[in-house]
Amino acid sequence: MNQITKLNLESRARELKLAGESERTIASILSSEANQKITQSSLHRYLANNTKVTQQAIESNDKLKVKVAEAELDTIEARHELIDKIRDLGDKAESNGDIKTALYALDKAVNALDSLDKRLGKLIEKPEVQVNIQVNQQFQEFMQVVLQEVDRETRARISAKIELHV
């Protein structure tokens, strides 16, 4: 007769196995709960003889995998919604003439997309400088448009301030 059966630990062993614990962990938990050494090999023999427990663990594990996959999909969907919202806010800011906020939203959307790509394992690490260069190019293009629309004196003041910060 197996030690697990002798000590009436079958239900606890089954519960831990269904929870996805490793045989080593189960043996350790059962040992501490029973105040007697339960070896991993003893547990293994018990589980091997009890194929129903093993089948239930496999089915439970498949269900757990499905739940994890569903949670991942929910997370990805939520991230897509967040990115869309950031883009919408950036578009609103741009249409209201708030370029600083629009650029900030653009930066946040890029960061959110990078985060999503990392989560999906699709991102090849790129230096952050590339994102900054894109933002700087857009800012320079915007400033050229602004400078064309203002008088000479204002253009000189703006250019001087930009030179101070560069």
**What SS3 string covers 102-134?**
HHHHHHHHHHHHHHHHHHHCCCCCCCCHHHHHH
Q: Mark whether 142 and 106 lie in a shared domain.
A: no
pTM of the model: 0.36
What pLDDT is attached to residue 136? Answer: 65
Structural domain span for residue 85? 65-125
Indicate whether 15 belongs to any domain.
Answer: yes
Indicate whether 38 belongs to any domain.
Answer: yes
Indicate whether 54 belongs to any domain.
Answer: no
Q: Mark whether 108 and 140 lie in a shared domain.
A: no
86 has pLDDT over 60: yes
Indicate whether 56 belongs to any domain.
Answer: no
pLDDT, averaged across the chain:
78
The helix (H) or strand (E) run that includes residue 100 is helix 99-120
Query: 10 Å Cβ neighbour count for 4?
Result: 23
Percent of the chain residues topping a pLDDT of 70: 75
Domain count, the chain: 3
